Structure 1
């Protein structure tokens, strides 16, 4: 089992999720910043420092599509214990009643983004900026920023969005108690748990 270290003390960390809103952002402006990509969101910013996923099926079926695993050079972390790939660090998962202060575990249930936030906290982040945390379809009906097919109908997607929103709302107070500021860099996000700001204002 892997244990996170405080490699980014006092830093601002960007957590890049898969919401379609990031298609309108100039992600090249993340150059030199600390970035954790969630699942296939890495494909829209391959220079991310860390890739986090909790879904073992994603690794087995989509992995690092469409470019292939060797295209990602950063640290890869998962809570999916069945993954035996030597490139992947495995960390324990705990219930998301609060963000974990134990560097050997991250909290999450329905959203890998929750685990990525907890990982950023372990790394020492004082501020976390969320990108692509939309919890709704894009104006063109797209579900994600990476263009991969999704196996579930849109009704199931809506249910998943609701579950994620509830998870964020439940766990958010613990970040504040830990002295970590979280902002959502999408003024139009359906997630209202954290302040919603323009991307430019978070740089």
Structure 2
């Protein structure tokens, strides 16, 4: 039996309509950083950055389980810690996919995984107090997702983002992917 998860990053292509479809699907969703605001009924909020948690922890209005990528942040905020299975650099969107695999996903749908700053930095605009993506981070993301894809071990990962520069995963419109 296929166990499908949806991972939602914060690329500018993410829409409220996409998130409404995800919510209606009943599938578990892992949202990255501020994307919990688009899908407050997500199962999980994942953010790697301690600085993000520092800025946003007290304002989160969601009952989603909270996960991070380092022990210090987990202890500081009393949230779940998920160690990376990949060596080298990483990003929160990549780690959300790893977490879905850890939870037993055999199929993962991606939204907001634009991996480009051509249409802006995030669906919510620039962070005011945190670093925002630039051409160097975008190039790094492409490498990080390619490394993840190489070890995904039979997990089907489909990028359903409305527009994306990420080419290591097959693409499919969200509606089609949800109907399977």
Q: Do the two structures share a fold, i.e. TM-score over 0.5?
A: yes
Gaps of 5+ in 1: 1-8, 98-107
CA contact under 8 A between 1:185 and 1:197: conserved in structure 2? Answer: yes
1:1-203 maps to which residues of 2 (within 5 A)? 10-23=2-15, 25-31=17-23, 32-63=26-57, 68-69=59-60, 71-83=61-73, 84-86=76-78, 88-94=79-85, 96-97=86-87, 109-137=89-117, 139=119, 142-147=120-125, 149-150=127-128, 151-152=130-131, 157-175=134-152, 178-186=153-161, 188-203=163-178
SS for the counterpart of 1:63 is: helix
The whole-number CA distance in structure 1 between the counterparts of 2:126 and 2:150 is 33
The whole-number CA distance in structure 2 between the counterparts of 1:148 and 1:73 is 25
The whole-number CA distance in structure 2 between the counterparts of 1:199 and 1:115 is 21
The whole-number CA distance in structure 2 between the counterparts of 1:174 and 1:81 is 24
After TM superposition, what 4+ stretches of structure 1 lie above 4 angstroms from structure 2?
150-153
Deviation per residue, 1:77-96 (Å, 9 max, x gap): 1112222222x1122234x2
Q: Measure how far apart 1:128 and its partner are.
A: 0.4
The whole-number CA distance in structure 2 between the counterparts of 1:26 and 1:38 is 15
Q: Measure how far apart 1:148 and its partner are.
A: 5.0
Corresponding pairs, count: 173
The whole-number CA distance in structure 1 between the counterparts of 2:151 and 2:18 is 31
Deviation per residue, 1:175-194 (Å, 9 max, x gap): 1xx22100100263100000
Q: CA RMSD for the aligned pairs?
A: 2.1
**Given the two structures, how large is their TM-score scaled by the length of structure 2?**
0.86
The whole-number CA distance in structure 2 between the counterparts of 1:90 and 1:152 is 22
**Given the two structures, how large is their TM-score scaled by the length of structure 1?**
0.77
CA contact under 8 A between 1:11 and 1:126: conserved in structure 2? Answer: yes
Q: Measure how far apart 1:158 and its partner are.
A: 1.3
The whole-number CA distance in structure 2 between the counterparts of 1:92 and 1:184 is 24
Gaps of 5+ in 2: none
